[in-house]
Structure 1
């Protein structure tokens, strides 16, 4: 065994220590991810108590997302500079303190500022937790390690809305932040006692730090995330700010890549992408984020805006599917340990996701019930289980030492960016498709047609029977028809979105099987260390 491999194995833990480290890392990943979605159901209450507009309060989500995506690529470098355990503890403390400050914010911009700093701490938790878990397990058991980590990452976005809904309905919105405080304190103590840092080389002096890299990364990611979050509500490229930030984002990306490839001590090590498995993994993580966050967004909006459900009920609908994913994780981890090729599992996962989108497309109506969506969402849970662990394990399977952290940073960033792209594209197309379907439906409601005249007359009589005058009854008839058209056109837009998502997943299957067959030969060798 080489010295490098011996150094890598120094961090492997056994017995109760590994159990506690795993629980701590999953708890921290859960804290970060739950906080991404928990605020969604509290925005209305925040608006009321802080006197903010809908655009202002949307920044509570945007600020957190921007900070998250900026800090994720830098986590590996920051871990090496300050020591992983110190950096992890500092991130938990920042996250926990900012949770308290968010709950105590007296106006909307205070809350947004604290959410941004909370996101800086939170982004670090996600990737560092993944690295800590990966390095605490021997190479042969890393598939299981990713399965355990995956439980937190997959279940987290689903737990947010029902938990947030419960806290807002029974207490008040600050409690969605206060709930982090005891968990943060426990995680800090456990990290200080049990987590160890790898031995890195010399730390950089202040004048060697890649300050330009940090500035360019922040500019590129911050601008891109803003464009994705606000593009739809600001009419995309009809808005001068969106155009400016899009240009800034592209220029920032080009300059950032040039800087990282030419500077001696880059903030993000792009050379780690020479690893073929990691390159495939980052693309797959992007698609996974697109499907995971995209479908997590569509279903609550559909159930609340079309079916009239409460936020809590909408959130609870997603829980059986998440539990299915959590149950799947250890089985999938075990299959990887036994040498089942990850490419096949990912291919089946995308196929299952296609069937989920197909079932949702055929079952969505203005009157869909829980019973119609239960099994498709269970199927989605199975698909996520088959995708998350194999993609993540495959991405990191041929990396060693500090490259594991750098690889985890790329996969984490691409999953978050995939989610941002997914949400931005889906919300845009829901609006566009709804408008198209509305125009087509209105064209079919020709008042000259006999069936349309019959329906209008029937509805008018029904309103007159309730005591309305003929004029008012006719007005209410047209309002009811307009609402029915709006509802139906929106449902048709959702079915279109599911159809296109399904096609995207179907197209991924041959690419994955084609690329990953050769790479799978590495895994049995890895497992024999």
Structure 2
């Protein structure tokens, strides 16, 4: 028995060894994550330009952000499962092709509705990057996968730095259309490098993909969004039949989705990952975190322009200030996770982000409006850098054999929160007499949401050391 046990142990250790070309592969998949990150922040700086050029109302312009989030919500859980079934490299490269082509189509759109449709296709490609890239990196880094996955936290802030600057420059000196064209050469480079260097993963046997569940969830969110957005149209009230009908349909479809998930043998979202040990609390945290942080980030440039008259280029760099604060802390937080565990950095980070949002909502004291907003954005970035690595890993270590599915589910809940926050906020702003002040009040609400998260962190199983 001893020689056999020793041989099994040696085989397990060999399988868990980091692979030789892991850093090159990490760099390639990071390009995909960078593109997806850039497109979340770059559009935020162009919201006013898109609205003006396409003669669209603010609430419908906001769909360029929310439809991108919706597409990612649906695709993330599917991409994780499809990557396991057909090979992560194949799914990752397919996503890169779709994202690149859709970006080109977005640049050619001549009305807001067509732009929203192309953004939906772009989101399908962008949404598949995270779960497949997570799986690819986990395979490459072996026992170091927790740190490698945590380092993804530093990829998104880079997009947060580059995106607003590029968006501000392009909107100032060219037009909003070029913000999508930027993705085309990057996408071509990603496809070429990925095809050449990303190793093929061994497909795993998988059951039928639950398309019924995916469609029910997509329609639930879509009708809910449409109803909320309709309130932002001129003269619309909560008693409007279109709003009521949309929300009734959304609630009905949501009920059918939950019933389907409970009855299906292999549902779109596994019930164990919704309610299992630690997962229920993390899903609630991710939803509220997405509502507060993603919704907040998408609307910061609009706030700076509306309340203080700051130009788009400067307004975009506020997201850069947030990303800088995040990068300064994220790397240290990743390497400290094995000592600190997950709860402490999450709680500390959430409190810092809430404080930064509250500061941003207040009138400037002793600084210019831009300096005050940059300081507040930097504080939120530090809080995000502290909390995101811990929240990214908190559920992954509970089921290391389902990394792709969990990463997709995490993104789904965060994007769902962001969708609700952006849809409700832009609808309220469409009715507000003073948009800038109304948005300041919304930031206080976002801060309160983050405070609500703190009790949930106590329900998350804490963990120290490697997985």
Q: How far apart, in 2, do the equivalents of 1:500 and 1:203 lie?
A: 43
Moved more, 3-12 or 502-511: 3-12
Q: Per-residue deviation at 1:307?
A: 1.1
**Conserved 8 A contact 2:59-2:232:** no
Does residue 73 (structure 1) correspond to residue 77 (structure 2)? The answer is yes
**Conserved 8 A contact 1:220-1:249:** yes
Equivalent residue, structure 1, for 2:260: 259
TM-score (norm 1): 0.77
Q: How far apart, in 1, do the equivalents of 2:9 and 2:258 lie?
A: 28
Q: How many residues align?
A: 461
Equivalent residue, structure 2, for 1:162: 165
**Conserved 8 A contact 1:128-1:405:** yes
Matched ranges for 1:151-300 at <5 A: 151-157=154-160, 159-202=162-205, 204=207, 208-227=208-227, 229-233=229-233, 235=236, 237-300=238-301
Moved more, 91-100 or 41-50: 41-50
Q: Aligned pair in 2 of structure 1 residues 209, 382: CA closer, same or farther (>3 Å)?
A: closer
Equivalent residue, structure 2, for 1:83: 87
Q: Aligned pair in 2 of structure 1 residues 222, 133: CA closer, same or farther (>3 Å)?
A: farther
Q: Aligned pair in 2 of structure 1 residues 294, 114: CA closer, same or farther (>3 Å)?
A: closer
**Conserved 8 A contact 2:355-2:447:** yes
Does residue 121 (structure 1) correspond to residue 122 (structure 2)? The answer is no
Does residue 148 (structure 1) correspond to residue 151 (structure 2)? The answer is yes
Q: How far apart, in 2, do the equivalents of 1:308 and 1:211 lie?
A: 46
Equivalent residue, structure 2, for 1:329: 330
**Conserved 8 A contact 2:352-2:383:** yes
Choose 1 or 2 for highest CA Rg.
1
Unaligned runs of 5+ in 2: none
The SS at the match of 1:309 is coil
Equivalent residue, structure 2, for 1:417: 416
**Conserved 8 A contact 1:67-1:123:** yes
1:167-224 alpha-carbon deviations (Å, 9 max, x no partner): 23333333212211121122112222333454344355xxx55342233233223223
Equivalent residue, structure 1, for 2:387: 387
Q: Per-residue deviation at 1:331?
A: 0.3
Q: How far apart, in 1, do the equivalents of 2:340 and 2:94 lie?
A: 39
Q: How far apart, in 1, do the equivalents of 2:221 and 2:139 lie?
A: 28
Q: Aligned pair in 2 of structure 1 residues 192, 278: CA closer, same or farther (>3 Å)?
A: farther
Q: Aligned pair in 2 of structure 1 residues 48, 500: CA closer, same or farther (>3 Å)?
A: closer
Equivalent residue, structure 1, for 2:19: 14
1:326-356 alpha-carbon deviations (Å, 9 max, x no partner): 121110011013x212101111112222332
Matched ranges for 1:446-525 at <5 A: 486=434, 490-491=436-437, 493-512=438-457, 514-516=458-460, 519-521=461-463, 523-524=464-465
Q: Aligned pair in 2 of structure 1 residues 4, 63: CA closer, same or farther (>3 Å)?
A: farther
Q: Per-residue deviation at 1:300?
A: 1.9
Q: How far apart, in 1, do the equivalents of 2:362 and 2:53 lie?
A: 41
**Conserved 8 A contact 1:430-1:497:** no
The SS at the match of 1:404 is helix
Q: Aligned pair in 2 of structure 1 residues 511, 262: CA closer, same or farther (>3 Å)?
A: closer
Q: Per-residue deviation at 1:407?
A: 0.8
Q: Per-residue deviation at 1:44?
A: 5.2
Q: Aligned pair in 2 of structure 1 residues 217, 496: CA closer, same or farther (>3 Å)?
A: closer
Matched ranges for 1:41-80 at <5 A: 41-43=45-47, 45-46=49-50, 57-80=61-84
Q: How far apart, in 2, do the equivalents of 1:322 and 1:218 lie?
A: 30
Q: How far apart, in 2, do the equivalents of 1:239 and 1:132 lie?
A: 48
1:414-466 alpha-carbon deviations (Å, 9 max, x no partner): 1111111222344456678x66xxxxxxxxxxxxxxxxxxxxxxxxxxxxxxx
**Conserved 8 A contact 1:157-1:296:** no
The SS at the match of 1:317 is helix
Q: Per-residue deviation at 1:87?
A: 0.9
Q: How far apart, in 2, do the equivalents of 1:404 and 1:236 lie?
A: 44
Equivalent residue, structure 2, for 1:102: 106
Q: How far apart, in 1, do the equivalents of 2:261 and 2:191 lie?
A: 33
1:14-70 alpha-carbon deviations (Å, 9 max, x no partner): 34x211222222221221132233234445555666676666655544443332222
Moved more, 69-78 or 58-67: 58-67
Higher relative contact order (CA 8 A, sep 6+): 2
Does residue 407 (structure 1) correspond to residue 406 (structure 2)? The answer is yes
The SS at the match of 1:424 is helix
1:350-372 alpha-carbon deviations (Å, 9 max, x no partner): 2222332343344448x952232
Moved more, 315-324 or 155-164: 155-164
The SS at the match of 1:318 is helix
Q: How far apart, in 1, do the equivalents of 2:413 and 2:259 lie?
A: 20
RMSD over aligned Cα atoms: 3.3
The SS at the match of 1:138 is helix
**Conserved 8 A contact 1:232-1:424:** no
**Conserved 8 A contact 2:161-2:320:** yes
1:296-315 alpha-carbon deviations (Å, 9 max, x no partner): 24432222112111111101
Q: Aligned pair in 2 of structure 1 residues 50, 278: CA closer, same or farther (>3 Å)?
A: same
